[in-house]
Chains A and B, each alone.
Chain A
Amino acid sequence: GENVEQHPSTLSVQEGDSAVIKCTYSDSASNYFPWYKQELGKRPQLIIDIRSNVGEKKDQRIAVTLNKTAKHFSLHITETQPEDSAVYFCAATAGGTSYGKLTFGQGTILTVHP
């Protein structure tokens, strides 16, 4: 099955700095890679996603890059703000008969200091 590794586990930055979170996956058949933000006790919220036919996607301060050859993808947050502080999860979806089930990374606790 799919295995997703996420690094770092914690990330502390100053307001205005950039933050980068990296994930690797094992299943070369995976072709959909969403990123979620989860605040304490709340549901995961989709912040951006990328499909395997695209190398990069950007949405305002958030961008995701995908390297299918190396099987890794990254989340980039620019101009970080204190409200960006949360736990971020990457995930991967394999094809076939999986019905789109997600395998999540271990999570990154992002703290943005004002």
Chain B
Amino acid sequence: GAVVSQHPSRVICKSGTSVKIECRSLDFQATTMFWYRQFPKQSLMLMATSNEGSKATYEQGVEKDKFLINHASLTLSTLTVTSAHPEDSSFYICSASEHGGVGIEQYFGPGTRLTVT
């Protein structure tokens, strides 16, 4: 149980275009979803926390107008990278929990490798 999928797994886009990444909880309802970014040989950095039906909470230094997050249902959250640039190339990973809270296990998606040329 507790499977999270992401789509696409890899995407290559040109500078200036927008890319949408989907994160789905397949066998549970995810009240809270998290989006992380991981650069090569670095740790996971939380970008934002999203709760179903409300606006996402962004971490300091993350541009909310550039990284649009929508959590419209209990099984789907999307991250749109707008006007992507080469420095946005990274591994984007989502995670989901059945309800937000301390000690509630997060289930991670397989990640999306974004390359901006």
Q: Which A residues have a C-beta under 8 Å from some C-beta of B?
A: 1, 31-32, 34, 41-46, 49, 51, 89, 93-95, 98-107
A102 partner, pick from B57, B106, B109, beta carbons under 8 A? B106
- The answer to whether B105 touches A46, judged by C-beta atoms less than 8 angstroms apart, is yes
A49 to B103, CA, bound (A): 9
Interface size on B, residues (CB 8 A): 26
Chain B residues within CB distance 8 Å of chain A: 32, 34, 42-46, 49, 51, 57, 60, 91, 93, 97, 100-106, 108-111, 113
Q: Tell me, rounded to whole Å, the shortest Cβ–Cβ distance linking B57 to chain A.
A: 8
A42 touching B111 by the CB < 8 A rule?
A: yes
Which has the most chain A C-beta neighbours within 10 Å: B32, B49, B106?
B106
Q: When the two chains form the complex, which single residue of B45, B103, B108, B110 contacts A100, counting CB atoms closer than 8 Å?
A: B103
A104 to B106, CA, bound (A): 13
A99 touches B32 (CB 8 A): yes
Across the interface, which residues of B come within 8 angstroms of A103, CB to CB?
Answer: 46
Distance, CA A93 to CA B104, complexed state (A):
9
Given contacts A44-B44, A46-B105, contact A100 B100 (CB under 8 A): yes
List chain B residues, Cβ under 8 A from A34: 105
Asked whether, in the complex, the Cβ of B49 is within 8 Å of the Cβ of A99, the reply is yes
Assuming the contacts A89-B43, A107-B43, asked whether A42 and B110 have C-beta atoms less than 8 A apart, the reply is yes
- Residues A100 and B32 in contact, CB atoms below 8 Å apart: yes
Chain A contacts for B43, CB-based, 8 A:
89, 104-107
